[in-house]
Amino acid sequence: MFVVGRDRGTADARRLNGPDKKNGRLVIFGLCYVIMTSDMESARRRANPSKQENRKDDPMRKLLLATLAAAVPATMALAQSAEDTVKARQGFFQLVGFETGGLAAMAKGDVDYDAEAASAHAADLSALISLHVADYFAPGTSNADLPGKTRALPVIWEDTDGFMERVQALNAAVDTMAGAAGGGLDALRPAMGQLGGACKACHDDYRAKSF
Amino acid sequence: MASGDDTRRGEISGAVLWDPVVRVLHWALVLAFATAWGLGKFGPDQMTLHFYAGYTVGAIVVLRVIWGFVGPRTARFASFVRGPSAIVAYARHLPERRPSRTWGHNPVGALFVVGVLVVLAMQVASGLLSDPEDYINVGPLAKYVSHETTQTALSLHEPLSTLLLIMVLIHIAAIVFYKRWKGENLVTPMITGRRS
């Protein structure tokens, strides 16, 4: 799915996404959203340049968001195959791993500690875990369903409570990291231990050791 | 120290069956292996102590192999590693209800000694090369090999731990069998160095 940036020209975006019929509906929704919200914003700025914090309470914006939220999963459910879901899941964990790897390199001393870079990694992790990951774990996407493509064990869907506990542990570790990453190496290290421990605890029971 | 081909000579002279290095390495291995295995299975998610226990197991294996070439007679591979015919011949007499009185490792036991050293070496190697992708328990040699190798190592580490547990159980069962069935105490010599 393409995310169209506000600064990108709409003609440019149409050219980019035009021929892709699969993504067409999503793109149109996205473009409508971008155009309407930016129009609303500029109109509001003209009317009341000092009050930008009211954006979130705007009823029109709420309606748009609600429509978008309802439309996107419905469209996705039609478009996404089990393989696509596995790819999205792996892409998600690739990003989680990339950000965690950056923090781990500092915690281990492989690269020099940099408060700004560490905070950025931690902020990105917080952003990642705020995604609605449930659809990345759609039923029918275990390594029993797709041998050789994923290491996600069927027990994820059989022991949902246990799996959710591990997810909560990861969320807690990411929250700890968000508070610790910028506070020096001595704060980063124990937070890294908690974060890596959350990775391990889930890999042990819910991820196969090989494809 | 026993020397020469007469397996009875040491026994008659009351010499040391297992030299101090063999005994210390044996019991150090018991402690290090139990620690590594227990921490691996039940230990904290941050596996620093498991790593140290694993390094210790690796060091013990290396020292034992070196000692197998330069140590006294009963410690040397050349003195106890035997061919298939000797192994079969010994195994055929195994059910007899009398002590074997072997001075050192018997041919079947020797097979086990070599086997356990090989599997321990494989286990240490697989641990050193493993990358469980948790960013805190990455084997120290994982960064020098391909990602596929780190994942192969990871997929071997747990099955090998199960194999080693089975080998330990066989080892203990053999000791009980020698004591109860054959009336031969194998534990005391490994502690005192002498046959009781």
Tokens describing residue A121:
């990694």
Q: What share of chain A is helix, strand, coil (3-state, %, to 5)?
A: 75, 0, 25
Mean residue pLDDT of chain B comes to 93
Q: Report CB contact under 8 Å: A209, B136.
A: no
Angstrom distance (rounded) from CA A13 to CA A28? 10
Q: Report CB contact under 8 Å: A200, B137.
A: yes
Chain B residues with CB under 8 Å of A196 CB are: 45-46, 134-137
Q: Give the ipTM.
A: 0.80
With respect to residue B62, please indicate whether it lies within any of the assigned structural domains: yes
- In terms of Cβ atoms closer than 10 Å to its own Cβ (0-12, 13-18, 19+), residue A13 is middle
pLDDT digits (tens, 9 = 90+) for B5-63: 445 555 555 678 999 999 999 999 999 999 999 999 999 999 999 999 999 999 999 99
Q: Report CB contact under 8 Å: B136, A97.
A: no
Q: Enter the CATH code of domain A82-206.
A: 1.20.120.10
User: What's the pLDDT at B11?
Assistant: 58
With respect to residue B132, please indicate whether it lies within any of the assigned structural domains: yes
Q: Are B103 and B74 in contact (CB under 8 A)?
A: yes
| Interface with B, mutate which of A95, A209, A210, A211 (most B CBs under 10 A) | A209
Q: Are A40 and A61 in contact (CB under 8 A)?
A: yes
With respect to residue B196, please indicate whether it lies within any of the assigned structural domains: no
Eight-class DSSP state of A149: T
Q: Are A80 and A139 in contact (CB under 8 A)?
A: no
Closest in B46, B134, B157 to A203, CB measured: B134
Nearest-5° Cα angle at B156, B155 to B159: 105
Chain A residues with CB under 8 Å of B44 CB are: 197
Q: Which domain holds residue B143?
A: 16-185
Percentage of residues of chain B with pLDDT beyond 70: 92
With respect to residue B6, please indicate whether it lies within any of the assigned structural domains: no
With respect to residue B1, please indicate whether it lies within any of the assigned structural domains: no
Q: Report CB contact under 8 Å: B154, A195.
A: no
Nearest-5° Cα angle at A118, A114 to A121: 145
CATH code: domain of residue B178: 1.20.950.20
User: What's the pLDDT at B7?
Assistant: 53
Q: Report CB contact under 8 Å: B134, A97.
A: no
Any B CB within 8 A of A188 CB: no
Any B CB within 8 A of A154 CB: no
What's the alpha-carbon Rg for chain A, to the nearest Å? Answer: 21
With respect to residue B190, please indicate whether it lies within any of the assigned structural domains: no
Sequence ranges of chain A with CATH classification 1.20.120.10: 82-206
B98: three-class secondary structure by DSSP: coil
Closest in B45, B152, B158 to A200, CB measured: B45
Counted domains in chain B:
1
Q: Report CB contact under 8 Å: A200, B134.
A: yes
Chain A residues with CB under 8 Å of B134 CB are: 196-197, 199-200, 203
Chain B residues with CB under 8 Å of A203 CB are: 132-134
Tokens describing residue A177:
């990291």
Per-residue pLDDT 10s for chain A (211 aa) are 333 333 333 333 333 333 444 444 444 555 545 555 554 444 454 455 444 444 455 555 555 555 545 444 544 554 589 999 999 999 999 999 999 999 999 999 999 999 999 999 999 999 999 999 999 999 999 999 999 999 999 999 999 999 999 999 999 999 999 999 999 999 999 999 999 999 999 999 999 998 8
Which residue in chain A has the smallest CA separation from B140? A108
pLDDT digits (tens, 9 = 90+) for B83-130: 999 999 999 999 999 999 899 999 999 999 999 999 999 999 999 999
Q: Minimal Cα–Cα distance from A128 to chain B, Å?
A: 17
Any B CB within 8 A of A143 CB: no
Q: Which residues does residue A152 pair with via DSSP β-bridges, in sequence order?
A: A207
Residue with the two structure tokens 């790593």? B51
With respect to residue B194, please indicate whether it lies within any of the assigned structural domains: no
With respect to residue B11, please indicate whether it lies within any of the assigned structural domains: no
